[in-house]
A and B are shown apart, each in its own frame.
Chain A
Amino acid sequence: MKSKKTYLSWVIIGLFISVTIFFTIITATSGAQWKELESAKEKLLSENRNLESELVSLSSLKSVEAKASELGFIKPQKVIYITNVFEVAKAK
């Protein structure tokens, strides 16, 4: 009877130690995972911010104007307003 009790006590102690070690390992690795996730999140946010910043710079009128000039667009030299006295085209 006594040996049974001793045996049970050792099992409980062993189980307790194993569970403690298991959770300690889980906790330690979770901390590392947490840190990794945080770094990944920060990296993505940073990339997002850089893309936003690139978008801002590329969509500025100065950039668009430079690009338009590169592509051969020019400002209209003269504007002519057409009066609609005569029909230009009419569907029959």
Chain B
Amino acid sequence: MPSRLKIISALFFLVFIFLIARLFVWQIIKGKVLASQARLQYQQSEKIIAPRGNILSNDKSALAARREAYLVFAYLPEMEENASRVSDLLAPLFLEEEDFEGDYDEQLQSVAGRIKAQLTGKESVWIPLKHKVGPNIKEKIEDLKIKGIGFETEEKRVYPEASSAAHLLGFVGKDSDGIDTGYFGLEGYYDLILSGKHGFLSRESDASGVPILLGSQQEVSAIEGVDLITYIDKTIQHVIDDNLKKGLEKYGAVAGSVIVMDPKTGGILAQASYPSYDPLNYQDYTNELFANPIVSNSFEPGSVFKILVMSSALDEGVVEPDTICEVCAGPLPVDKYLIETWNQIYRPDSNMVDVIVNSDNVGMAWVAQKLGKDKLYEHLAKFGIGQLSEVDLQGEWVPPLREKDSWNIVDVSTAGFGQGVAVTPIQMIRAASAIANDGVMLNPVVVQKLEGAGWEDEVTSNKGERVISEKAAKMITAMMVEAAKNGEAKWTHLRGFKVAGKTGTAQIPISGHYDEEKTIASFVGFAPADDPKFIMLVTLREPTSSPWASETAAPLWYSIAKDLFLYFGIQPEN
């Protein structure tokens, strides 16, 4: 009997030792691994998506908005149907989401093949099948009741006005880590503000996923992206977009841009450039189309630049409107070059108004020489030539203004009529807007306010800087009114409306000389001249119907202005 007791005691002891050993393995050796495995079962974690801010027009309607979308994924351990069947069911629905060209059956086969390849791959058990699927397609997929197919909430960007203002808005693409990021235009410039910050939720839940009320919970709230309220006016945007498309066709130009600005606030009211792209399907376009020509492309301005040089000369008092040009009787020799007028017509008794009205290169070369290198350079710098306009759009590039010391008499003379200098359209309209705003130049700006939940904030106070005197601004405005009425574009002038404008036909420099045939035609103008509601710059690259701005850019400017007069309630004078 005692020996039996001893055996049982020994057995108990051995079992006890075994249990202690197992406990040691579970608690000490595998403790961390098991604890983390257990945590995975009861700890639920999810990302709280911060909605991206909207981009709104001046009436607070959407130019770029968020839309709910879903990531469709497959979880292989739960999947019961075979890969072929699943891919055949999903492919037509995925195709509904895509803009595709070509044969439908071919596309369908290709999408089904892709899904099947993903499902039969052995790399992982959780497979993302399609991003940014809309709610309608999600519902249709749910109706199919395919086990193992699930959804994760995502966000999709929509641009209700499609490619209109694409260059102003930019687009949302993916960065190298696959995260939504804004590129170009406002999406790029304000990406951080628009993006907000994603949040995080971690809490304990039971086997069925129901949260345990008394369990631990950790939540970091998402910070929503901020809405941008812009100066963009959708009606004006629509008008210029429509007219520019027609204008490009009518005048056979390879590219063109129109920008409309409020000279009193610096607010960009609208901008259109073609060729353009659809920001929703940006991946279907080449990279060259993404850059905004208004801020990224420079051109030799030609005659539109004359208004800046003449206003500088008027501001310095070196000429008056009735000053007679002393050299306008014929071509002007400068160093080894001969400066001629654009039409070889010379008017010996031209005063400064005539010089602007007739767009006289000889007269302007003479004005620039009278102004002198130092004063000319100083004024061009004041007008912001060679400097960033600081507009709130991503991708602004500025052609530098050559060092003053390197300028000779030829440079000074040719700058008088806009040759040998380069500007971007945004620089040109900013400089010209100083004339429209009584000599005070404002920085161009697209966004006027930031808006969050329950708050609104002005972006900047745009006080501006005086670049010419009010008197000089009024004198050059009067000259521009005459130029619009009686200059080479007078045939297209809208009778009765007080428009201040100037045409510019610039040759395109290539490899050290000017192209004989290709031109950039432009027209800058504002109305009404004495109390401007808008200033607009139209540029057409290589128009083929005529090389001259007076026959291309000017009529396009007036066809847009006709609609804008109605919109702004601008009446003819008589």
Contact = CB atoms under 8 A, between A and B. Distances in A.
Contact of B213 (A27, A46, A61, A79): A27
List the 7 closest A-B pairs by CB distance, nearest first: A60-B160, A53-B67, A56-B62, A49-B68, A31-B210, A56-B65, A27-B213
Given A49-B68, A61-B238, A32 B161 contact: no
Given A56-B67, A62-B162, 13 more contacts: A27-B214, A28-B206, A31-B210, A31-B211, A46-B135, A56-B61, A56-B160, A61-B164, A61-B234, A61-B235, A61-B237, A62-B161, A81-B571
A20 interface: no
B210 A35 contact: yes
B566 interface: yes
Interface of A: 27-28, 30-32, 34-35, 46, 49-50, 52-53, 56-57, 59-63, 65, 79, 81, 83
Contacts of B562: 79
Contact of B209 (A35, A49, A50, A57): A35
Nearest to A38: B211
A34 B161 contact: no
Contact of A59 (B61, B158, B235): B61
A59 B56 CA distance: 13
B213 A34 contact: yes
Contacts of A32: 210
- Size category, B interface: 20 to 34
B160 A79 contact: no
B348 interface: no
A14 to B, nearest CB: 23
A83 B161 CA distance: 38
Contacts of A61: 161, 164, 234-235, 237-238
B8 interface: no
A81 B572 contact: yes
Contacts of B95: none
28 contacts: A27-B212, A27-B213, A28-B206, A28-B210, A30-B213, A31-B205, A31-B206, A31-B212, A34-B211, A35-B209, A46-B135, A49-B66, A50-B135, A53-B66, A56-B61, A56-B65, A57-B158, A59-B61, A60-B161, A61-B164, A61-B234, A61-B237, A61-B238, A62-B160, A62-B162, A62-B164, A63-B160, A79-B562
Nearest to B62: A56
Contacts of B238: 61, 65
Nearest to B496: A81
A35 B214 contact: no
Interface in B5-53: none
A32 B206 CA distance: 10
B225 to A, nearest CB: 14
Contacts of A65: 238
A60 B217 CA distance: 43
Contacts of B234: 61
Interface in B110-162: 135, 158, 160-162
A56 B213 contact: no
Contacts of B162: 62
Contacts of A57: 158, 160
A86 B65 CA distance: 51
Contacts of B210: 28, 31-32, 34-35
Interface centre among A27, A49, A79 (most CB of B within 10 A): A49
Nearest to A27: B213
A32 B164 CA distance: 48
A46 B66 CA distance: 12
A49 B424 CA distance: 40
B479 to A, nearest CB: 27
B68 A56 contact: no
B563 to A, nearest CB: 9
A49 B212 contact: no
Interface string B146-188: 0000000000001011101000000000000000000000000
A52 B67 CA distance: 8
Contacts of B211: 31, 34-35
B213 A53 contact: no
Contacts of B135: 46, 50
Nearest to B54: A56
A31 B213 CA distance: 5
A79 B564 CA distance: 13
Contacts of A34: 210-211, 213
Contacts of A49: 66-68
A27 B235 CA distance: 57
Nearest to A24: B214
A56 B68 CA distance: 13
Interface in B525-574: 562, 566, 571-572, 574
A82 to B, nearest CB: 10
A49 B68 CA distance: 7
Interface centre among B61, B237, B562 (most CB of A within 10 A): B61
Interface string B232-254: 00110110000000000000000
Contact of A53 (B158, B164, B206, B496): B158
Interface centre among B135, B160, B164, B211 (most CB of A within 10 A): B160
Contacts of A52: 65
Contacts of B206: 28, 31
B467 to A, nearest CB: 36
Contacts of A56: 61-62, 65, 67, 158, 160
A36 to B, nearest CB: 9
A35 B205 CA distance: 10
A35 B572 CA distance: 66
Contacts of B158: 53, 56-57
A61 B206 CA distance: 50
A76 B496 CA distance: 20
A53 B205 CA distance: 33
Contacts of B574: 83
